[in-house]
């Protein structure tokens, strides 16, 4: 005795209205969408960390320990932003040298 009756349905996974993942018919389209989002997100996080470091620096009240912590936050935020920009420039250079279509 079957408690759950069988269901016979056909789903078209190529239909973009039913399956939102179907709009990515290649990995290139997915990377074209993902890379700019990640770069913008990384830039916003770096900006937030810079503002946090600046706030900590301004509210340190001359305490050398708080000043050094604020400076390290600012240094790491700038370093992170530098890494984001350097990775973008490096991938563009590699794409130009190898004649590969890059997402940005």
How many residues would you count in the chain? 104
| pLDDT attached to residue 71 | 96
The three-class DSSP label of residue 9 is coil
In the chain, what are the helix, strand and coil shares in percent, each to the nearest 5? 70, 0, 30
Query: What are 21's two structure tokens?
Result: 């993942």
Cβ count within 10 A of residue 52: 14
Measured distance CA(63)–CA(72) in Å, rounded: 14
CA 77-80-82 angle, to 5 degrees, is 110
Q: What is the pLDDT of residues 60-100, one digit of tens each?
A: 999 999 999 999 999 999 999 999 999 888 888 888 898 87
| pLDDT attached to residue 101 | 72
């Amino acid at each position: 005795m079957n408690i759950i009756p069988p269901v016979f349905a056909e789903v078209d996974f190529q239909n973009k209205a039913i399956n939102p993942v179907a709009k990515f018919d290649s990995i290139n389209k997915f990377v074209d969408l993902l890379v700019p989002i990640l770069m913008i997100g990384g830039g916003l996080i770096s900006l937030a960390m810079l503002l946090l470091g600046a706030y900590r620096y301004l509210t340190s009240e001359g305490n050398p320990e708080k000043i050094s912590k604020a400076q390290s936050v600012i240094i790491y935020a700038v370093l992170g932003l530098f890494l984001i920009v350097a990775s973008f420039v490096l991938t563009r250079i590699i794409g130009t040298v190898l004649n590969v279509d890059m997402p940005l």
